[in-house]
Amino acid sequence: MTTIPELNRSMTSIPELNRSINLLNEKIDGLIINLDLTVNKYVTITQLEVASAKIIADITKELSEKIDSCPCNKDILEHIKNISIIEQKTKLGKYSGLKKYSPPNPSVGNPDLGSSKNSQKIDIFRKE
């Protein structure tokens, strides 16, 4: 497996990680152009899919190793964890503004339509 020299050095900051991602994007764009040329040279779709899957797997493996070893990643994950804990606490203690479902109110209705719980309803089956 070939490696990208810029990714082999230790990443210590988000800007370095960003530069590496941009470099990978440029390399992917170049590979796409090469793949387009290769497709025009009678390459089958399955061969193209296999090559694409290998490229994606290699890039994903390199990036995940570098991202996992980056100290800034640990800081970001810790910060996100703290934020989610705070959000959960505020959601539990704060009124959301939404009412819970309640069954129909029997005293609500249009008397002309004969609401079933309305004492003034019109009952056409009533015996007088």
Residue 51 has pLDDT above 80, yes or no: yes
Burial of 51 (0-12, 13-18, 19+ CB in 10 A): middle
For residue 29, is it within any domain? yes
**C-alpha–C-alpha distance, residues 90 and 78, integer Å:** 19
pTM, two decimal places? 0.28
For residue 76, is it within any domain? yes
For residue 98, is it within any domain? no
**DSSP letter at 48?**
H
Condensed to tens digits (0 to 9), the pLDDT of residues 71-88 reads 777 777 777 777 766 555
For residue 24, is it within any domain? yes
Number of domains into which the chain is organized: 1
Asked if residues 7 and 62 have their Cβ atoms less than 8 Å apart, the reply is: yes
**C-alpha–C-alpha distance, residues 109 and 124, integer Å:** 17
For residue 18, is it within any domain? yes
Residue range(s) defining the domain that contains residue 72: 5-93
Q: Which whole-number Å values give the CA distances from 35 to 13, 25, 70, in the listed order?
A: 33, 15, 32
Condensed to tens digits (0 to 9), the pLDDT of residues 104-128 reads 666 665 556 655 555 666 666 666 5
- Percent of the chain's residues with pLDDT above 90: 0
For 41, phi then psi, to 5°, come to -105, 40
For residue 106, is it within any domain? no
